[in-house]
């Protein structure tokens, strides 16, 4: 479980973001995929199609992007990749960030 509101408190007050890799990595060796900060995604936000899809891309031309993963300021039920919401480009908030990643071996 990542950082969320009930395991991220000091004297009853939520304490904010944490340094990366303070919790165990997932089975792919990735840290902090859930919790700590919501993460911007490249996809445009739209309702999912009615039928089954694989890796839906959302709108190609869009003003609202997908945000996923929960944050330190939310309850545990939001700490999952399937939870998403849409945020306008340029939106800023204290529990919203992004992930920097390198290809394997770099």
* Digit-coded pLDDT (tens) for 18-69: 888 888 888 888 888 888 899 988 888 888 778 887 776 666 667 888 899 8
Among residues 21, 48, 51, 46, the alpha carbon closest in space to that of 36 is found at 21
pLDDT tens digits for range 83-96: 888 999 888 998 99
Q: What do you get for the CA distance between the two ends of the chain, in Å? A: 27
Kindly report the pTM of this predicted structure: 0.75
Rounded CA-CA distance 71/2 in Å is: 8
Beta strands in the chain (DSSP E): 9-10, 13-14, 38-44, 64-68, 84-88, 96-97
Rounded CA-CA distance 64/43 in Å is: 9
């Amino acid at each position: 479980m990542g950082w969320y509101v009930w395991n991220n408190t000091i004297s009853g007050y939520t304490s904010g973001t944490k340094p990366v890799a303070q919790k165990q990595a997932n089975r792919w060796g990735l840290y902090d995929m859930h919790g700590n900060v919501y993460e911007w995604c490249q996809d445009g936000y739209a309702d999912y199609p009615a039928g089954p899809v694989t890796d839906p891309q959302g709108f190609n031309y869009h003003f609202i992007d997908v945000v996923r993963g929960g944050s330190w300021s939310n309850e545990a039920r939001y700490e999952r990749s399937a939870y998403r919401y849409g945020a306008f480009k340029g939106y800023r908030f204290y529990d919203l960030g992004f992930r920097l990643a390198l290809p394997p071996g770099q």
